[in-house]
Amino acid sequence: MSNAESKDVILQKDDGVALLWLDRQGEKVNTLSVKTLDSFSKLLDELEKDPEVKAVVLISKKKDNFIVGADLDVLQTFDKAEDAQKASQDGNDLLTRVSKFPKPFVAAINGTTMGGGLEVALACHYRIVTDHPKTVLALPEVKLGLLPGGGGTQRLPRLIGIQKALGLMLTGRNVYPHKAKKIGLADEIIHPHGLLQAAKNVALKLTKKPHKRKKRMGFMEKALESTPLTKNIIYNTAKKQVMRQTYGNYPAPLKIIDCVKRGMGTNLKSGLQIESKNFGELVVSPESTQLVNLFFAMTDSKKNPQQDKVKKVEKIGMLGAGLMGAGIANISATKDIRVVLKDISMEAANNGFKNISKDIGVKCKKRIYTAFQKDTILSKVFPTDSYKSLRNTDVVIEAVFEDLDLKRKVLAETEAVVRDDCIFASNTSSLPITDIAAEAKHPERVIGMHYFSPVPKMPLLEIITTDKTADWVTATAYDLGVKQGKTVIVVGDGPGFYTTRILAPLMNEAICLLEEGAKIEDIDRNMKLFGYPVGPITLLDEVGLDVAAHVTDVMNDLFSKRGVTGSNVAKQITDAGLKGRKNGKGFYLYPKKKGKKKTINTDIYRFFGGNSRKTFDREEMQLRVALMMVNEAAVCLQDGILKSPRDGDLGAILGLGFPPFRGGPFRYIDTLGASKVVATLESLQEKHGVRFTPAPILQEYAKNNKKFYN
Amino acid sequence: MSERKVVLVDGTRIPFLKANTSYKNLRSYDLARLALKGLLDKTQLSPHELQQVIAGTVISNFTTSNVARDALLGAGLPYTIPAFTVTMACISANQAITSGIDLIASGQKDVVIAGGTESLSDVPIRYKKKFRRKLMAAQKFTKPWQFLTFLNLKDWLPEIPRVAEFATNRTMGQDCERTVSRIGVTRREQDEFAIRSHHLAAEATEKGFLSQEITPISVEPKFQLVDKDNGFRKDSSMEKLQKLRPAFVKPHGTITAGNASFLTDGAAFVLLMEEEKARALGYEPKAVVKSYAYTAQSPHDELLLGPAYAIPKVLDQANLTLQDIDVFEIHEAFAGQVLAALKCLDSDTFAKENLGRSQKVGEIPMDKVNTWGGSLSIGHPFGATGSRLVTCAANRLIHENKKFALIASCAAGALGHAMIIENCRG
């Protein structure tokens, strides 16, 4: 029957309903590309003329996705804003045809429906979604520095209201089936097996009577969206919130607000034009380019380079049930891995268990898990105070106090009880793995797995291998990290490995600035303006000054060989009893009462030459702090700690909050040009000393005009 | 045909707590899943090896009527494991365990977890039959005025849950009073036995004997760590017990709250395997099952005398005499009930009239009976007690380095059970 040209879309006629099966050839997921759009357009001509066809159902042949979005590879080929704008317009023309199609058009949605995929669904006359666990709807374009360029900024607010639409588009968050139905994004929910029949039924029903839908809005929501004046309040509030979170570093959210604001003030057709123009501009913006690069790098890192050497991990042991240990146990148990959560006392282990339970409980309230799922997850965590329970574990991860002797001790104690194919991983943030493994019976099974706090939220896992670490051990740790939902980088061993090593000079520079008389709030604010999510001084407080002092100590040799001496002020401050957030006193004072804001602890200036403070040039401050990290990242690449610039960028962004829109240290160097970076560093070196000496690799790249990425 | 031996690898339970204490927010499903989790941790059993779960329970909850299956799923065990729930009053867990033994002995399974669970803090309370009928009928009501039938406020009162024998409508305490009077067990004897039970449980707890069979758990919402039973009274004394008033036959009865078991929440499971399978998996089993027996008597006169019938039966089956047994674990529903059973066993008249034997079965030395406490002091979650008895008997055998242990229990419905296990490590 079918005479469609492309196999990506297959037409099947069934009792007067044309079923359009989406099935992108050679891929596991459906994406939108120019080719699909062309064949789709021709199909529409055919369907419109065909008297046999009374209604159309759009449905995916894939197991767990409808359409996951536009083909990003294609987006990357656009050099000019006009080209991207044109592509958006073409898409919008086609979708407008769908929305005005004379026969009912039903979207039958099962599985992931993202970005362009959701926009296609929005253009249809009726959306029916399944309650499959993989069914999620989202417009995540903002995360890539883009906006929904297929009518999303126009159709979504018209369907579910301005406030809800802005919320979804500015965060890119997932909407699950029941929520989708509740807010009016979906018209109906059905189980996956009944989807096709239900879609056909409703399509035929719509031929007799068009669907009438009630706007599902609360009273206040409706009131706010009823007059131009109050609508303006919505837009202004949204804008203020965006500015507060991004410091204006990201153009996409502002443009999304602009599209909705102007679009809702006019008709759909003009709205779509505004959207396409904004979309074009964003596609070629440097911010979006870097965010798309980051997305590709993250996707790329999901592939384990040594997948064939992976051993199955079903049960892990966690030594230490503190914040870290409980966090790692949490992300493992939720991914169906059993965890023995060991601490020195049953009370301590139980406390870790409690924290996991609380976290899962919060997710239950948000309806991410059911109460029963919570039971099954918590059943996978076994709190204990005995090594005996580690007997059958595949991997043991230690997160005990950062003390070399203690780590060696727990390693020896673990080796005494585990099977001889069990991996020992250390979640140290700075101690070299080689040192920890020095007395191990099986150093080939020792590896570093450096997680970041809070573990469930932070996306990075830094794996550290020594000369002796076996390949299967690295491969298995990698696999475990990916299973736990982390983006994994593998780096070489040394004090602070990669992430802690590049963070230390940045922190040190912030302290130098304080010693030179800068204000705490200026440093934090300026670095936030530069694009860091948290200022370095706040970060010091969060990490804890005792930890910072310890790290300085561990890293000292490494830097002093290069003639750089780090400040030991962190130790002095710790000795004076200020530890940062953990004891409520650090660079800031943290009031015990909830809801009260932290204030600056001016008393701490006594460690930095007294209370007379001055203002620094913002850009100089930003460059000094940021370039310390960037330069050290280059040294890491040169020393072989890093295997690739990609890992360096992923580590800095996902682990340390390096501004994502700058693409990471190496992308940042490429953007500025190595020669410019070297020149800046040299001038800083003249003023402030050898710590700014450009890494030799940078000098070489500058001389030969090379880039880290081609 | 080579005989397949069934071994007890290990067993565990969550602490038994008085009803409406720390487990008051948990359901029998929760107790079971926590105990299962504890057993998995204790035995380090790979879930892939497990082939069957059987749980006993008495007061079933409508939402989890096959609580064995729901609890195994809730404990995150593979959904490919079949599970069923059995009920046989206070010997439900015993029935679960012997069903597991049969499955293994007959070659159908190699690895089975069996035990039981009970929450007496979460007893389903329902409307009376008349009102339930009205509610069912109301589903078909079409006219508003038909609902006027619900205006009778008396209807809305719930049925009071009562542990009474269906056939006789007597509570178990009333029955026990009849038995102790008939056999001649005094109030003082009963109180002494109760004090003994409490003191032994306290001692076994202090010395850490009971921690071998207990899995500590963390109880929501406050996540307090529960690692001990809370029912035994170290300070139990004759002076205090004598003050208590009879609970069932007033004012001249002998059974009081002090010499009867209390309402308890808890769950317990054992891991059973075919012997060679256990060795292949690297286990050193604790005990091997020798023999078991069930008996049933008249619910009118002999409701709680089960052990007096089941003990001689199982001894005969195993070709052993009372003297061969070093460890007795006898369920203590009431102090009077245990003492009555022991007196019957030691009576020639009872042997002739009731057992058809020429001689009495014999006297059981008290220093072999329930030396780590019993249901009177540790508590009695109906569906779980049997599993506690088996695990405790095995642990005592190993501790005392003795050969045979006998477990015996009575149950509502005038049922009796006994089982003999043999030390594997002796």
| pLDDT at residue number A2 | 40
Look-up of token digits 């009576």: B347
Amino acid occupying residue A57: V
Amino acid, res. A552: T
Is the separation of the CB atoms in A651 and A459 below 8 Å?
no
Indicate the pairing of strand B111-118 with strand B52-56. Answer: parallel
Q: Hunting for tokens 């309402």 — which residue is that?
A: B263
Contact residues, A window 381-410, toward B, CB-based 8 Å cutoff? 382-384, 389, 391-392
Distance CA A137, CA A115 (A): 8
Instruction: Output the DSSP codes for B74-143.
Output: HTT--TTS-EEEE-BTBTHHHHHHHHHHHHHHTTS-SEEEEEEEE-SSS----B-HHHHHHHHHHTT--S
Q: Give me the residue from A340, A350, A376 closest to B218, CB to CB.
A: A350
SS3 for A426?
Answer: strand
Per CB-CB distance under 8 Å, the chain B contacts of A384 are 41
Q: Hunting for tokens 């049930």 — which residue is that?
A: A321
Q: Residue A35 is which amino acid?
A: K
Catalytic choice (B176, B344, B410, B424): B410
Nearest CA in chain B to A335: B76
The pLDDT value recorded for residue A1 is: 35
d(C-alpha A579, C-alpha A286), whole Å: 40
* Helix (H) / strand (E) containing B335: helix B335-345
Give the residue numbers of A annotated as catalytic, written as ranges.
Answer: 462
pLDDT cut 90: percent of chain B above it: 82
Residue closest to A241 by CA, chosen among A251, A232, A253, A230: A253
If you measure CA to CA, which chain A residue comes closest to B77?
Answer: A376
Residue A315: closest C-alpha in chain B: B46
Closest chain B residue to the Cα of A351, Cα to Cα: B223
- The token duo for A443 is 């150093």
Dihedral through CA B81, CA B84, CA B89, CA B94, nearest 10? -40
Question: Is the CATH code 1.10.1040.50 the one for domain A500-703?
Answer: yes
**H or E element: which one contains B330?**
strand B325-330
Question: Hey, which CATH number is domain A307-494, 3.10.20.600, 3.40.449.10, 3.40.50.720, 1.10.3720.10?
Answer: 3.40.50.720
**Contact at 8 Å (CB) between A120 and A238?**
no
Q: Is the Cβ pair A376, B76 closer than 8 Å?
A: yes
Query: For residue B127, what pLDDT band results from cuts at 50, 70 and 90?
Result: confident
Selected for mutation to probe chain B from A351, A353, A379 (highest B CB count within 10 Å) is A379
Q: What per-residue confidence (pLDDT) applies to B131?
A: 82
Task: Give the Cα separation of A591 and B72 in Å (integer).
Answer: 46
Q: Which DSSP letter does residue A368 get?
A: S
First to last CA, chain B: 27
Of B33, B41, B227, the CB nearest to A375: B33
Whether B331 is catalytic is no
In A369-498, which ranges are continuous DSSP H helix?
Answer: 371-378, 404-417, 433-436, 471-483
pTM summary value: 0.90
Cβ-defined contact of B37 to A382 (cutoff 8 Å): yes
Residue of A nearest to B227 (CA): A346
- Is B44 close to A377, i.e. CB distance below 8 A? no
Q: Give the orientation angle of helix B172-183 with respect to helix B335-345, to 10 degrees.
A: 40
- Topology match between the domains A2-284 and A307-494: no
Q: Are B225 and A347 an interchain contact pair (Cβ–Cβ within 8 Å)? A: yes
Amino acid at position A31, single letter: T
- Min Cα–Cα distance to chain B from A539, Å: 31
Catalytic residue among B331, B380, B392, B424: B380
Instruction: Please give the structure tokens belonging to residue A171.
Output: 């965060």
The token pair that represents B62 in the structure block: 């409508």
- Whether A340 contacts chain B with CB within 8 A: yes
Q: Which CATH superfamily is domain B165-208+290-423 in?
A: Thiolase/Chalcone synthase (3.40.47.10)
Cα(A380)–Cα(B77) distance, rounded to whole angstroms?
9
Which residue of chain A comes nearest to B39, CA vs CA? A382
The answer, for A317 touching chain B at a CB cutoff of 8 Å, is: no
Q: Is the pLDDT of residue B6 over 60?
A: yes
User: How large is the angle between the packed helices B67-74 and B28-43, nearest 10 degrees?
Assistant: 60
| Rounded Cα gap, residues B398 and B425, in angstroms | 7
C-alpha Rg value of chain B to the nearest Å: 22
Q: How far is CA B394 from the centre of its chain?
A: 16
Tell me which of B90, B176, B344, B392 is the catalytic residue: B90
Do B74 and A340 count as a contact with CB atoms less than 8 A apart? no
> How does DSSP classify residue A615?
P
ipTM of this complex prediction, to 2 decimal places: 0.89
* Cβ-contact A154, A268 below 8 angstroms: yes
| Residues in B touching A385 (Cβ below 8 Å) | none
What's the CA dihedral at B166, B169, B173, B178 to 10 degrees? Answer: -110
Higher pLDDT, A38 or B163: A38
| Interface list for chain B against chain A, based on CB atoms closer than 8 Å | 30, 33, 36-37, 40-41, 44, 46, 73-76, 216, 218, 220, 223, 225, 227
Of B40, B74, B220, which has the smallest distance from its Cβ to A376's Cβ? Answer: B74
Q: Is the pLDDT reported for residue B313 higher than 80?
A: yes
Distance CA B260, CA B315 (A): 28
- Residues ≥6 apart with Cβ < 8 Å to A194: none
Tokens 């594997």, residue?
B424
Q: Is A504 left (phi over 0), alpha (psi -120 to 50) or beta?
A: alpha
* Cβ within 8 Å, pair B227-A346: yes
DSSP line for A83-115 = HHHHHHHHHHHHHHHHHT-SS-EEEEE-SEEET
Percent of chain B residues past pLDDT 70, beyond the cut? 99
Say which DSSP state B263 is in.
B
Give chain B positions within 8 Å (CB) of A391.
44
- Those residues whose C-beta lies under 8 Å from the C-beta of residue A140, and which sit 6 or more positions away, are A69, A114, A115, A172
Biggest alpha carbon distance in chain B?
A: 76
Residues of chain A with pLDDT under 50: 1-4
Q: Sort out which chain A residues have CB atoms less than 8 A from B37's CB and list them.
A: 379, 382
Handedness of CA A432, A434, A435, A436 (dihedral sign): positive
For the stretch B246-263, pLDDT in tens is: 998 888 899 999 999 999
Task: Give the number of C-alpha atoms closer than 13 A to the C-alpha of residue A120, restricted to the C-beta side.
Answer: 29
Report the residue of B39, B41, B81, B283 to disrupt the A interface, i.e. the one with the largest count of A CBs within 10 Å.
B41
Q: Which of B76, B216, B225 sits opposite A379 (nearest CB)?
A: B76
Q: Cβ(B362)–Cβ(B350) under 8 Å?
A: no
Domain boundary assignment for chain A:
2-284, 307-494, 500-703
pLDDT band at B2 (very low <50, low <70, confident <90, very high): low
Residues 6+ apart with CB under 8 A from B144: none
* Partners of residue B318 on adjacent β-strands: none
CB hemisphere CA count around B6 (13 angstroms): 28
The closest alpha carbon to B372, from B327, B311, B334, belongs to B327
Tokens of B256: 């009081």
Spell out the residues 6+ positions from residue B17 whose beta carbon is closer than 8 angstroms to its own: B23, B226, B229, B230, B231, B264, B265, B266, B379
Chain A residue numbers with beta carbons less than 8 Å from the beta carbon of B33 are 375, 379
Report which residue type is found at B100. Answer: G
Every domain of chain B and the residues it spans: 126-159, 165-208+290-423
Q: Tell me the C-alpha to C-alpha distance, in Å, between residue B416 and each of A129, B43, B292, B313, B343.
A: 57, 30, 11, 10, 16
pLDDT at B159 over 80: no
Task: Name the residue facing B75 among A351, A354, A379 (closest C-beta).
Answer: A379
List of chain A residues whose C-beta atoms are within 8 Å of the C-beta of residue B225: 346-347, 350
Are the beta carbons of B39 and B222 closer than 8 angstroms? no
> In terms of C-beta density within 10 A (0-12 exposed, 13-18 middle, 19 or more buried), how is residue B425 classed?
exposed
| CA B344 – CA B362 distance, rounded (Å) | 9
Question: Considering only CB atoms, which chain B residues are within 8 Å of A353?
Answer: 218, 223
Quote the pLDDT of residue A596. Answer: 85
Distance CA A555, CA A499 (A): 12
Residue B134 — pLDDT band, cuts 50, 70, 90?
confident
Average pLDDT over residues B287-291: 97
Q: Does domain A2-284 have CATH number 3.40.50.300?
A: no
Distance (Å, rounded) from C-alpha B37 to C-alpha A340? 12
More confident residue, A41 or B208: B208
* Secondary structure (3-state) at A6: coil
Within 10 angstroms of residue B66's Cβ, the number of other Cβ atoms is 14
Separation between Cα atoms, residue B319 and residue A479, nearest integer Å: 58
Q: For residue B136, is pLDDT > 60?
A: yes
Q: Using one digit for the tens of pLDDT, what is the confidence trace for B334-393? A: 999 999 999 999 999 999 999 999 999 999 999 999 999 999 999 999 999 999 999 999
Test mutation, B26, B225, B227, chain A, max A CBs within 10 A: B225
Pairs across A and B, CB distance < 8 A: 49
CA distance A489 to A69: 27
**For residue A13, what is the enclosing H or E element?**
strand A9-14
